């Protein structure tokens, strides 16, 4: 489902053409499913391991990076097409997305925005068989969801999750999904950057620690796997940046380490409780550092503190005075956060990534701050982030 987002940064506005969630929206039409094809001969690796014929999967971890045809043949039967129906008194629409098998209990990982609001969810396997699915759990704050199908055991071939923290910029990756309803499509590219922020429909929030890739991600790829050359899922394809809503070389995937943290909880509890500090802030840029008489332009300036949030309860100070800087108004006078648990903070992204990776609701977190020119530390117990429907 499409969501256009413009990112504004205080002191110099950075305009992004648009963040488009890569789900294919269309009116009901004949389903595009690749018909069964004759089994292909097996491919033999140089180290003697064999890659299965179509319809078979080798579960042992390969000893070397796979060739791209080997990679596709290894994982193709684990990637599915997801269709939902949303009914109201006027019409019925059927967004199309992707997903992949997580375990042998029939759980499938996809994006929250693929299945959000669905009255009915259907899953199509590569051989064309279609099954109804149930929503197990969803998390709008990481755009992840789990659905479940009741299918013959031989169809349940889960994909292994890799370690996204080991990804390197420039590393080759592959995306598999159903762009524009063309099932079982594979595109390749590299990891373009790591640790990006992906703005959400939920006002004021972003998904931290996101993978940027130039592998072609188009409408319909949402929820499909981003894979390394060992056949491991390193990300869940979610969105693209584009002026037109179609691929323009910048795609985003939710990292596998976030998946490892969120998905088991979604399966067990149906939702995920995110830790929450309760501030709005902006990066310290040279112009702000000069006004605040800071030696270096790093850290983040607290603009507002949300009432009754953990930051409010433990005395974090928000801005108190509006000034005009480079033609834009900014509120100063708040605390400057420079470290968390002795980990240096350069910008807002670092704060969000640290909390996402390291913290849970109820954990303590020590903030190193500068207040009125004086350094100090405040220890805070993190609360639970309010739901999307909250003000």
The residues assigned a catalytic role are 113, 143, 222
* Structure letter (DSSP) for residue 90: S
Contact yes or no for 211/195 (Cβ under 8 A) = no
The DSSP-derived string for 345-362 is --SHHHHHHHHHHH--TT
* Cα 145 from Cα 262, distance rounded (Å): 9
- Would you state the structure tokens that stand for residue 250, as one six-digit string? 């910048």
* Cα 184 from Cα 99, distance rounded (Å): 11
- Would you state the structure tokens that stand for residue 20, as one six-digit string? 């488009």
Contact yes or no for 57/100 (Cβ under 8 A) = no
User: CA angle 368-370-374, nearest 5°?
Assistant: 115
Alpha-carbon distances of 214 from 5, 17, 175, 194, rounded to whole Å: 20, 16, 10, 12
Contact yes or no for 190/236 (Cβ under 8 A) = no
* Cα 292 from Cα 286, distance rounded (Å): 10
């Amino acid at each position: 489902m499409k969501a256009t987002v413009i990112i504004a940064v205080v002191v110099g506005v950075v305009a992004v053409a648009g963040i488009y969630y890569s789900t294919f929206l269309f009116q009901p039409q004949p389903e595009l499913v690749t018909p069964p094809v004759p089994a292909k001969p097996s491919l033999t690796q140089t180290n003697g391991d064999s890659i299965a014929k179509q319809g078979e999967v080798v579960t042992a971890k390969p000893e070397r990076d796979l060739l791209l045809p080997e990679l596709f043949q290894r994982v193709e039967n684990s990637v599915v097409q997801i269709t939902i129906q949303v009914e109201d008194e006027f019409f019925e629409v059927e967004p199309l997305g992707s997903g992949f098998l997580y375990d042998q209990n029939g759980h499938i990982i996809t994006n929250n925005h693929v299945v959000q609001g669905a009255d009915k969810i259907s899953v199509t396997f590569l051989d064309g068989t279609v099954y109804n699915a149930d929503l197990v759990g969803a998390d709008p704050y990481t755009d992840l969801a789990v659905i479940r199908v009741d299918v013959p055991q031989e169809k349940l071939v889960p994909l292994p999750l890799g370690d996204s923290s080991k990804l390197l910029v420039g590393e080759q990756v592959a995306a598999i999904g159903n762009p524009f309803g063309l099932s079982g499509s594979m595109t390749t590219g590299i990891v373009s950057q790591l640790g990006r922020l992906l703005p959400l429909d939920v006002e004021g929030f972003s998904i931290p620690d996101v993978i940027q890739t130039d592998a072609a991600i188009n409408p319909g790829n949402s929820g499909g796997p981003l894979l390394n050359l060992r056949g491991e899922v390193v990300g869940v394809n979610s969105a693209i940046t584009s002026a037109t809503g179609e691929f323009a070389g910048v795609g985003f995937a939710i990292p596998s380490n976030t998946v490892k943290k969120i998905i088991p909880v979604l399966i067990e509890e149906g939702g995920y409780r995110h830790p929450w500090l309760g501030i709005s802030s902006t990066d310290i840029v040279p112009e702000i550092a000069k006004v605040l008489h800071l030696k270096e332009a790093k850290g983040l300036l607290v603009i507002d503190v949300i009432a009754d949030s953990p930051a409010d309860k433990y005395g974090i100070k928000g801005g108190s005075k509006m000034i005009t800087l480079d033609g834009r108004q900014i509120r100063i006078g708040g605390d400057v956060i420079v470290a968390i648990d002795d980990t240096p903070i350069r910008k807002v992204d670092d704060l969000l990534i640290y909390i996402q990776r390291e913290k849970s609701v109820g954990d303590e977190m020590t903030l190193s701050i500068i207040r009125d020119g004086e350094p100090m530390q405040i220890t805070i117990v993190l609360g639970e982030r309010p739901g999307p429907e909250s003000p």
